[in-house]
């Protein structure tokens, strides 16, 4: 195993139809991280777009990736990249939308349940049931009224949320960097 290699997987759905939806916040955060580094994705043979980089001089090697398939099938490309780059599950960071956290807030954690998130379920399944990976949980809040969850996550952000979204994406990208450079506990103390 390449001891200092990390895989950052941003969850979302492909295509312009889903690009600016709540479910694609993981893609948005990875796009921000790549923009900061001046990097661009390349296609892989495992159904993902990925790029390798270092966060800073002497920092850890990081593979940034987004699946080219749908959210519910995120596990196969994530596992393919982990196998190809010899990434241990403890060095996997998944950036995803989180219904149980208010919009604009984020939480960092290792392991735990998938909370009904199909992208996380797929990853856990392809890791043989191993849940011991890191999650950057970007809050999108609960759907209003009687709206179905599936409809809500596949909708665009409200007008008020769109105004706050760039700052939220920026803070979430900062949290990913903190997680890699300072570790989970230190990052949690600064983010929570």
Q: State residue 1's pLDDT score.
A: 37
Helix (H) or strand (E) holding 96: strand 92-98
The parent domain of residue 43 ranges over 5-191
User: Residue ranges of the chain with pLDDT lower than 50?
Assistant: 1-2
| Other CB atoms within 10 Å distance of the CB of residue 167 | 10
Domain harbouring 83, CATH code = 3.40.50.1470
10 φ/ψ angles, rounded to the nearest 5 degrees: -100, 120
Q: State residue 3's pLDDT score.
A: 56
- pTM over 0.85, yes/no: yes
Asked whether residue 118 is marked as a ligand-binding residue, the answer is: yes
What's the total number of domains in the chain?
1
Asked whether residue 41 is marked as a ligand-binding residue, the answer is: no
Largest CA distance in the chain: 50
pLDDT in tens, 31-69: 999 999 899 999 999 999 999 988 777 778 999 999 999
Q: State residue 55's pLDDT score.
A: 76
Q: Is the Cβ–Cβ distance between 90 and 127 less than 8 Å?
A: no
33 φ/ψ angles, rounded to the nearest 5 degrees: -60, -45
Asked whether residue 70 is marked as a ligand-binding residue, the answer is: yes
- What positions carry a catalytic annotation? 23
Closest C-alpha to 117, from 11, 1, 9, 34: 11
């Amino acid at each position: 195993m390449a001891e200092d290699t990390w895989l950052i997987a941003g969850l979302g759905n492909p295509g312009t139809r889903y690009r600016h939806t709540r479910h694609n916040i993981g893609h948005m955060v990875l796009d921000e991280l790549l923009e900061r580094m001046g990097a661009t994705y390349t296609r892989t043979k495992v159904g993902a777009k990925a790029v390798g980089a270092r966060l800073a001089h002497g920092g850890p090697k990081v593979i940034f990736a987004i699946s080219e398939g749908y959210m519910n099938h995120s596990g196969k490309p994530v596992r393919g990249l982990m196998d190809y780059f010899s990434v241990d599950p403890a060095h996997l960071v998944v950036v995803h939308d989180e219904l149980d956290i208010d919009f604009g807030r984020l939480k960092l954690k290792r392991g735990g349940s998938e909370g009904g998130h199909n992208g996380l379920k797929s990853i856990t399944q392809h890791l043989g049931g191993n849940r011991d990976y890191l999650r950057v949980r970007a809050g999108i809040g609960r759907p209003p009224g009687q709206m179905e969850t599936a409809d809500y996550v596949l909708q665009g952000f409200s007008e008020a949320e769109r105004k706050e979204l760039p700052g939220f994406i920026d803070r979430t990208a900062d949290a990913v960097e903190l997680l890699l450079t300072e570790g989970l506990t230190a990052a949690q103390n600064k983010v929570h």
